[in-house]
Structure formats: C-alpha cells, structure tokens
Amino acid sequence: LREREESVRRIGIGDAGIERLRGTGGRIVIVDDHDEQAAHIVAELGKNHRPVHLGTMGNDLSSSINGVDLLIINAATKGFDGLRLLAHLRARESTRNLPILTLVDTGDRPRLLKALELGTNDIVSIPVDGHELSARAFTQVRRKRYTEFLRERLERNLEAAVTDVLTGLHNRRYMSSQLQSLVSRANLGGDQVAVLILDLDHFKIINDSFGHDAGDEVLREFAVRLATNVRALDLPCRLGGEEFVVVMPGTSLEDAQTIAERIRSNVSREPFRAKGMGEALTVTVSVGVAASVPDDTPETLLKRADQGVYEAKALGRDKVVV
Ligand code: GH3
Ligand code: MG
Ligand code: MG
Ligand code: MG
C-alpha cells in the first residue's frame, strides 16, 4: 500500500489554513493521480473563499489521515487501486468513520457498486461536475462536524452527570453507583470498603455571618483539602449542602480512621480564607467512619457512618467517631 500511496501525485497547497478549519471549510485530502481533474477539484473546493486545506496522501497513512475531515478517492487512478484503499480504511478502527467521497467513471457500475458496498459515504461521477462535487463534499464535512459536536456534548453531559457543580468533586449519584459495586464485591469475598461521612460544624453560622457566597467558598476550600488528604484510589464526593462522603476501596476501619483524623486536624488547624470574610475563619468538621461487614448494603454501611457523625456532634463537634 505504501508504494501505491507514493505513486499518488502530490497536489496539495501546503500546510496553511489549518487554524481556519472551523465553519464551513474543512481539511480535505484528495487521492487522485489525474492531474487535471485534481486541479479542477482543488479549484472548485476552494471557491467562495471557503477555508479549505487540501493535501495528498503521504507515506504514512495514519498520520496523513489524522485530523482530516474528508477523503476524496478516485477509484480509477492508474497508479493504484482506490477501492483497495477504501477497503483498507474501512477495516481500520481509526479510519472506520472517516468521511470518504469516491470518484467513479460514469457508467462504471461494477466500481460504483463496489464502492458503496465497501462503505463510501457518497459518490461523484467522472467527469466531475464542480458544483455537485462541492455540494456533496461539504455535506460530508458538515455532517462530520455535527457528529463531533454531538459527541463532545455527550461527553460533557456524561461528566456533568457525575460531578458536583460547586466543588468539582464526585456527586451523590456517582458515590452511590461506586459504593454499590464496591459493597457487592466485598460481599463476594473481595476487599473491605470503608466510608467517611463529613459534616461541617455550625455551617449555618458561616452563611449567616458572611453570606452564602463566602459559604460556597468555604465549601470549595474544604473540597480541596478533602481531595488532597485522601489517597489516590479514594473517592471524595459531595452529597449536597455541607455534607461530604469519602468512599475508600480496600480500606480497613483502622486505616479509614487514621485518614479521617488527618482530614479533621488539617481542617481545624489551618483557618479558611474566603472573599468577603475580613479575617481567616476557623472551620471544623465532624466525621463518622464505618467499614463494610458481611451482608452490608450501601445503606447499612452509610447508616453506621452517619451514626458516627451524630455522636461526634453530640460530643462537641470537631471529632472523628468510629
Ligand atoms: P451542625 O454543626 O449541626 O452540622 O450545624 P450546621 O449549621 O452545619 O447544620 P445545618 O444542617 O443546621 O445547616 C446547614 C447549612 O448549610 C444550612 C444551609 O443554609 C447551608 N447550605 C446548604 N447547602 C449550601 C450551599 O450549597 N452553599 C452554602 N453556602 N450553604 C449551604
Ligand atoms: Mg446539620
Ligand atoms: Mg453541618
Ligand atoms: Mg448537615
């Protein structure tokens, strides 16, 4: 294939214009050893000041295809078999969805059918009508752009669905799903899982004294301290309000208690600073700790940790209770 690619003439117009690819233009690569026709295609696609970047297949197929919006293959090149190139691209994971427009001689039904069968996105007959080619090419580019847009939006939404908006920690939904599978695994003889529930002390006073925005800043600062005082595999989450949970896979009650104590002392030792608060403010947190026992459910496990929070509050707050 490499030899065949090398036999394809270069008709590119250099590397300019990649920055201008957004909008209706696109990065289009033409595989055609018919000079005149290739020049005609280049001229048509570049009309109306469309920011088009054109190139030809290089020696390295994967790098020359990287970032390309549309490939135009002449199925009737002399140098090599365009349909084999099409088949090759469709067989590879990285190029399976690459938009491809195939040029087929008018009346060459076998090649036309073969190209469709191999998965070309569209066909343009030779001799090439510039307007038609342009319309079909940019339809493919727009479709690709829109597909990319939808995929990016989907990824953002999926991430948003498991992230707490205020702090960037995992949210309750994520915590529940992770805890569910960790508890199930523990019950099947897997590693023990521990949880901490952390509830800021007298948070209402912070809000009432300094305002809701300052309260939010305290919550964000607390989230940072939480995240930086747990281990890499631990999952710091915000349930809502001033209530947080850390899910700790493969952790004993004793180890969880040590980490809880580390968080508690870090929080009370270093005063918090937030905009709108004149001086730094001492914040404290009450923590309940529990580790899974046989036949636990996420609910029974969290209930024990919650009981710890309740007792910590009763004992005067700023405490860890197992
Ligand atoms: P305790 O020590 O018993 O936990 O007292 P507390 O004041 O922390 O507990 P309480 O549950 O009475 O009050 C929690 C307060 O948290 C009340 C509510 O206004 C505030 N709050 C809840 N969600 C948010 C939030 O997202 N941002 C801010 N700034 N405040 C919040
Ligand atoms: Mg409360
Ligand atoms: Mg509280
Ligand atoms: Mg609370």
Question: What interface predicted TM-score (ipTM) does this complex get?
Answer: 0.95
**242 in catalytic set:** yes
* Residue 146, pLDDT score: 85
* Residue ranges lining ligand 1, Cβ < 6 Å: 166, 199-204, 207, 212, 215-216, 219, 241-242, 313, 317
| Three-state secondary structure string covering the chain | CHHHHHHCCCCCCCCCCHHHCCCCCEEEEEECCCHHHHHHHHHHHCHHHCCEEEECCCCCHHHHHCCCCEEEEECCCCCCCHHHHHHHHHHCHHHCCCCEEEEEECCCHHHHHHHHHHCCCEEEEECCCHHHHHHHHHHHHHHHHHHHHHHHHHHHHHHHHCECCCCCCECHHHHHHHHHHHHHHHHCCCCCEEEEEEEECCHHHHHHHHCHHHHHHHHHHHHHHHHHCCCCCCEEEEEECCEEEEEEECCCHHHHHHHHHHHHHHHHHCCECCCCCCCCECCCEEEEEEECCCCCCHHHHHHHHHHHHHHHHHCCCCCEEC
* Of 94-98, 181-185, 248-252, the least confident: 94-98
What is the bridge-based pairing of β-strands 285-291 and 122-126? unpaired
Is pLDDT of 1 > 50? Answer: no
Mean pLDDT of 73-79: 78
Mean pLDDT of 296-309: 98
Position in ligand 1 atom list of the atom nearest CA 241: 23
Residue length of the chain:
322
236-264 pLDDT per residue, tens? 999 999 999 999 999 999 999 999 999 99
Closest CA to 313 of 291, 287, 290, 289: 287
Tokens standing for residue 276: 């709108």
* Residue 11, pLDDT score: 33
- Give the model's confidence band at 64: pLDDT under 50 very low, under 70 low, under 90 confident, else very high: low
CB 237 within 8 A of CB 246: yes
What is the bridge-based pairing of β-strands 320-321 and 235-240? unpaired
Report the chain's mean pLDDT, rounded to a whole number.
86
In the chain, pLDDT over 90 holds for what percent of residues?
A: 63
* Of 41-50, 116-125, 182-191, 219-228, the least confident: 41-50
Q: How far is the CA of 317 from the centre of ligand 1 (A)?
A: 15
Of 44, 217, 221, 242, the catalytic one is 242
167, 207, 284: which to mutate for ligand 1, most atoms within 8 A of CB?
Answer: 207
Mean pLDDT of 56-85: 73
Mean pLDDT of 26-42: 81
- Give the model's confidence band at 4: pLDDT under 50 very low, under 70 low, under 90 confident, else very high: very low
* Residue 79, pLDDT score: 62
* Residue 56, pLDDT score: 55
Distance, C-alpha 159 to centroid of its chain? 7
198, 203, 315: which to mutate for ligand 1, most atoms within 8 A of CB?
Answer: 203
pTM summary value: 0.70
Return the biggest CA–CA distance within the chain.
Answer: 89
Is pLDDT of 292 > 70? Answer: yes
